[in-house]
A and B are shown apart, each in its own frame.
Chain A
């Protein structure tokens, strides 16, 4: 029998998942009968959006669950101004842009990194931010700019890259930080109260850094049940089981179902390295106004390593607006991609109107790839 890395038989997981699915469906039906409507749950993290779709769970539970995407796809929440700035940096002579693949095809107001690369820009797709350090050491005549997108999970890896650059005395390295923090965004979203969420599936990997305690406020201040869980089909189902059970028992509580990875207080070393180099600041999100304290900017003493300061005279196009793109409403759960007039009607992964369609974990892309036509 095939086993996973922990020596657990894979077949048993599948059997358990099947039974748990039936159980979750039963709970969902129970709530639907009682309330006369589907349970509206936000999966905050874009990787959860994809996992729900890919595994077929979203479709299998579509009669009882109304799943909404949240602000958890880093390129989707990146503001147009930042995109334009990052793309403009790639046009500077002797600059090598180091980026995660996620950003490559995201359209700025007029162009994308992929198109600039085709025209000669030097764009390196990395798996680990440490690749930027190797590049900086090997190309001392070039300026290496690491595009810092992502949330609390990615932030310490960007910080670790800066730490190495400092250790090695690399002066030709800088970061464009648009790193974002999840709890302030959720707080902003819940304060708007524009739609009636029943519960939240919280980002499992952000929680490894922050700790599950960071999300206690959702249950305590907003009286919403929520779960921290992982990304395998079984993780998703276990998360939903606890969430629906809380709803039935009318308990607004946070359940951590990912205790084998996520601690209450999170990862101290990761938090420390973030704090060493970054401080909280206001930042622009797509779909929100500026959210106070929701971004990570380099501490003043590291301003030399901030690409915004290093390359002040960058020509940045005036930010364009995508007419009618509902991305902002989709990543705040107000609409689903199916509600957008452009969805699959001119807006597809090849001709994206907004970033939610181009990022592979963007809600629109996930819906396009995995959910339409069934």
Chain B
């Protein structure tokens, strides 16, 4: 029901305006809903707004959990 894509915050201007990047493309977003976002943070973006911060460590843990469960660790 709601498209959202992960983007990396690059730069923060005033009035909650920020620049974020994904796959080599940069565009302005609003961080009004995630005012604590800082450059370097990953955020989920919907309709031009950051909706929430993404925790990369947590994301990785989830993947590793399943890799372990399915015996896929260390397969590169």
Contacts and interface: CB of A to CB of B under 8 A. Distances in A.
Contact of B56 (A6, A203, A270): A6
Contacts of A130: 30, 48
A283 interface: no
Contacts, number: 134
A129 B47 contact: yes
Contact of B76 (A9, A46, A74, A182): A9
A39 to B, nearest CB: 20
B1 A203 contact: yes
A13 interface: yes
B59 interface: yes
Given A5-B8, A19-B72, A261-B54, A160 B1 contact: no
Interface in B8-54: 8, 22, 30, 32-35, 42, 44, 46-49, 51-54
Contacts of B55: 259-261
B33 A270 contact: yes
A19 B34 contact: no
Indicate the size class of the contact surface on chain B: 35 or more
Interface in A247-292: 257, 259-263, 267, 269-270, 273
Indicate the size class of the contact surface on chain A: 35 or more
A9 B4 CA distance: 21
Interface stretch (A147-155, A220-228, A347-355): A147-155
B2 to A, nearest CB: 4
A267 B52 contact: yes
Interface string B64-76: 0011001010011
A269 B34 contact: yes
A160 B32 contact: yes
Given A12-B67, A20-B70, A203-B2, 7 more contacts: A16-B72, A128-B47, A153-B51, A205-B44, A261-B54, A269-B33, A273-B32
